[in-house]
Each structure stands twice: as structure tokens, then as C-alpha cells.
């Protein structure tokens, strides 16, 4: 039973980490979109040359948006792992057919 409590605590922690990583992923992705908008405005105003603007836009898209997607995906992966651990622990608690402990003497 003590082992089940430890596993249960780890699963709860993993779900908290999942939510944090997903929020962080959305935040980084939104920050990247905002940066692209700002660079586009600077480009439209003529403060950036075409070459500078394109390199900033592509660099921002690759760095921030893909990083945000990676963090979000990591959060989903942690959540799936927590769910698998939870299911495995619940399954381990149930008696299996053919277990000697499940048999009654008679």
C-alpha cells in the first residue's frame, strides 16, 4: 500500500508538471507570434531592410514558435506517462486470475 501512495504522489506531480509545461508552451508560442507581428510592423514602417526583416521573422518563427510547440509536446508526453503509470498501478492492485492470494481455502 505504501508503494501505491508513492506512485500516486508521483502521478499527481506529473499531472501538475504537464499543466505547467502546456501553459509554458502556449506562452512561448504566443510570444513568438507577438514578436513576428512587431517585426512585421517595423518592416512595414521601413525600419528594417527586407533581408533583416526576413531573417528576424524566420529566426523568430523557428526559435520561439517551435520551442513553444516542443515544450507543449513535452507536457503532453509527461501527462501520457503519468496516465500509463496510474493505469499500471491500478491494474497491479487488482488480483489476477490464478493468483494464489486470490484463492480461498476450502
Task: Please write the tens of the pLDDT for every residue from 44-68.
Answer: 999 989 999 889 889 988 888 889 9
Q: How many domains does the chain have?
A: 1
37: containing domain: 15-90
In-domain check, residue 80: yes
Better pLDDT: 84 or 96: 84
Report pLDDT for 24: 93
Nearest to 64 by CA among 37, 98, 103: 37
Neighbours of 18 (CB within 10 A): 20
Q: By percentage, how much of the chain surpasses pLDDT 70?
A: 90
Q: Does the pLDDT of residue 91 top 90, yes or no?
A: no
In-domain check, residue 54: yes
Neighbours of 52 (CB within 10 A): 13
Model confidence band, residue 5 (pLDDT cutoffs 50, 70, 90)? confident
In-domain check, residue 101: no
Q: What is the pTM of this model?
A: 0.72
In-domain check, residue 100: no
In-domain check, residue 7: no
In-domain check, residue 78: yes
Amino acid at each position: 500500500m505504501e508503494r501505491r501512495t508513492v506512485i500516486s504522489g508521483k502521478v499527481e506531480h506529473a499531472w501538475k508538471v504537464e499543466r505547467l509545461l502546456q501553459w509554458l508552451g502556449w506562452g512561448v508560442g504566443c510570444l513568438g507570434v507577438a514578436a513576428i507581428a512587431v517585426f512585421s510592423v517595423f518592416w512595414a514602417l521601413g525600419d528594417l531592410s527586407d533581408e533583416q526583416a526576413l531573417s528576424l521573422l524566420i529566426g523568430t518563427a523557428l526559435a520561439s514558435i517551435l520551442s513553444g510547440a516542443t515544450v507543449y509536446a513535452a507536457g503532453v508526453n509527461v501527462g501520457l506517462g503519468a496516465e500509463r503509470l496510474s493505469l499500471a498501478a491500478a491494474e497491479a492492485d487488482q488480483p489476477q486470475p490464478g493468483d494464489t492470494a486470490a484463492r480461498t481455502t476450502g
